[in-house]
Amino acid sequence: MAGADVILSTTTLVDVPRRIVSAALPVHDFPLLGGWFRVVSVAVEGWSAVAVRGPRSFRLAVRLTTTPAGTDVTCSATFRAPGGPLAHRSRVLSALTSLAEGIRTRALALAGAPVIVGTAIVRGRRLLAQQRSYPADAAGLWELPGGRVEPGESDADAVVRECAEELGVLVEVGAPVGPDVALPKGKLLRIHRATIVGDARPHPHDHADLRWLTAGQLGTVPWLPADRVLLPALRQLLRGLP
Ligand SMILES: Nc1nc2c([nH]c(=O)n2[C@H]2C[C@H](O)[C@@H](COP(=O)(O)OP(=O)(O)OP(=O)(O)O)O2)c(=O)[nH]1
């Protein structure tokens, strides 16, 4: 018997801004309900994953909604239940609750995390990427200009300072791009859009190379792992430019 599609969901309030809760969503394959799930999209508004091993025809989605008290995390599952809608209800609901609890715990930890700002500098429908020269495990990989937000600085102050130090240019800082992304050692990566003031040319002060990449070229360089999560948002940014 094929059974009907069943949708179950739970909502949990997390007292943390949505941009930070989005960094708490799993981005690698993870186990749930006796199987493994693969993340297929991550955005500030939420996330979706499909079963790749175990419970086939199973989709999970997390929707993040800003509320006056923080962020509502709604976890939902869509699946085929051969025994009818009630057959797996309590097991699925408890898995959704544990998914939400994991997100909540990580989001609360990330709320106090040091922020690393990255800068999406765009010019003529191209994005400026830079190649790291150190440490050994990151040398040769690509990232966006930026660095740690120092005590007392705003994100925008840190973007301006880092772009001056790393590239020798003055930038005008715009809105955040894509979701925040959790980094190793409990840090948080947040990308801001920016444009170079005037027609100054950036020079790599402590990086191996710089490149201006079109949306179609973004996948042609090896990025740091966290930046790979951001490629869809960066592509969308470039494709949406006038
Ligand atoms: N600037 C930047 N850092 C990134 C990106 N993606 C990513 O994972 N990171 C990581 C690499 C580093 O571990 C960390 C940046 O921290 P940092 O600025 O304090 O450290 P750093 O290694 O560049 O060294 P330094 O400035 O202390 O010399 O963030 C990105 O796109 N831009």
Residue 241 has what pLDDT? 85
CA 120 / ligand 1 centre spacing (Å): 14
- H or E segment at 232? helix 225-239
Alpha-carbon 40 to chain mean position: 12
Give the span between the Cα atoms of 166 and 196, in whole angstroms: 13
CA 61 / ligand 1 centre spacing (Å): 30
User: Which of the listed residues 189, 190, 205, 213 should we mutate to test ligand 1's pocket, taking the one with most ligand atoms within 8 A of CB?
Assistant: 189
Q: Is the pLDDT of residue 63 over 80?
A: yes
**Cβ–ligand 1 contact at 205 (below 6 Å):** no
pLDDT averaged over every residue in the chain: 94
**Cβ–ligand 1 contact at 77 (below 6 Å):** no
Neighbour tally for 226: CB within 10 Å = 21
pLDDT band at 130 (very low <50, low <70, confident <90, very high): very high
DSSP letter string over 86-147? TTTHHHHHHHHHHHHHHHHHHHHHHTTSPEEEEEEEEETTEEEEEE---STTTTT-EE-SEE
CA 33 / ligand 1 centre spacing (Å): 36
CA 21 / ligand 1 centre spacing (Å): 21
Residue 3 has what pLDDT? 61
Residue 6 has what pLDDT? 87
pLDDT band at 85 (very low <50, low <70, confident <90, very high): low
**Cβ–ligand 1 contact at 148 (below 6 Å):** yes
CA 138 / ligand 1 centre spacing (Å): 10
**Cβ–ligand 1 contact at 181 (below 6 Å):** no
Q: In b/e form, how buried is each residue of 34-49, taking b as 16+ CB within 10 angstroms?
A: eeebebeebebebbbb
Going along the chain from its start, the domains and CATH numbers come out as 4-110 (3.30.530.20), 115-239 (3.90.79.10)
pLDDT band at 89 (very low <50, low <70, confident <90, very high): confident
Q: Contact at 8 Å (CB) between 6 and 86?
A: no
pLDDT, tens digit, 9 for 90 and up, residues 178-234: 999 999 999 999 999 999 999 999 999 999 999 999 999 999 999 999 999 999 999
**Cβ–ligand 1 contact at 116 (below 6 Å):** yes
Give the span between the Cα atoms of 90 and 106, in whole angstroms: 24
Give the span between the Cα atoms of 160 and 179, in whole angstroms: 21
What pairs with residue 48 in β-bridges?
41, 61
Sign of CA dihedral 213, 124, 115, 60: negative
CA 38 / ligand 1 centre spacing (Å): 27
| Ligand 1 atom having least distance to the Cα of 135 | 22
Query: Left (φ > 0), alpha (ψ -120 to 50) or beta: where does 140 sit?
Result: left
Q: Contact at 8 Å (CB) between 70 and 15?
A: yes
Please list, in sequence order, all residues whose beta carbon lies within 8 angstroms of the beta carbon of residue 236, skipping any fewer than 6 positions away.
Answer: none
Give the span between the Cα atoms of 41 and 95, in whole angstroms: 20
Nearest CA to ligand 1 atom 15: 147
| Residue 26, CA atoms < 13 Å, CB-side half-sphere | 21
Please state, for a pLDDT cut of 70, what percent of the chain lies above it. 97
Residue 1 has what pLDDT? 41
Q: Is the pLDDT of residue 2 over 70?
A: no
Sign of CA dihedral 187, 190, 38, 3: positive
Residue 54 has what pLDDT? 83
Q: What is the mean pLDDT of residues 7-16?
A: 96
pLDDT, tens digit, 9 for 90 and up, residues 43-53: 999 999 999 99
What pairs with residue 128 in β-bridges?
212
